[in-house]
Amino acid sequence: MNIDQLVNSKGATVIYDGECPFCKTYVQFMRFRDTVGSVSLLDARSQPLLVQALKNKGYNLNNGMVFIMNQKIHYGDDAVFAMSLLSTSVGLFNRMNGFIFSKPILAKNLYPILVFGRKIVLKLLRKTSL
């Protein structure tokens, strides 16, 4: 699937690093299907052409996940901000996520710390970058 198809498709799409334990857990625990309907979770590791196309448009998946909805691409802290606004408050994870990431200033300041932690964990797990 290419970027234009994803941007113009119905529902929402999250593109994340499936080998990153943090990314994988985050997208599994997010509960926003109730509010947005269909959500496609795409492991970037299985989509190298899509990863390159996103990189060509300025979205480096080594530095942030991508959330696409309503013909808009959200990247990095903007992606977690947008997803947190759509998430339900069911469960401790979603309540904490909503509290932290539904505030743009907190999302913008905390997201780089998460990206740094991801890079360290991937290095420890001997995983290559995307």
User: For the chain, what are the domain ranges?
Assistant: 3-124
For domain 3-124, say whether CATH 3.40.30.10 is its number: yes
Q: How confident is the model at residue 85 (pLDDT cuts 50, 70, 90)?
A: confident
pLDDT bracket for residue 33 (50, 70, 90): low
For residue 103, give the nearest of 116, 87, 117, 85 by alpha carbon: 85
What pLDDT does 101 receive? 77
% the chain with pLDDT above 90? 54
pTM of the complete model: 0.87
Q: Is the dihedral of CA 5, 54, 82, 64 positive or negative?
A: positive
How far from 88 is each of 16, 108, 112, CA to CA, in Å?
20, 21, 24
Residue 73 and residue 67: Cα distance in Å, rounded?
Answer: 6
Which parts of 44-86 are beta strand (E)? 66-69, 72-75
7 vs 99: which has the higher pLDDT: 7
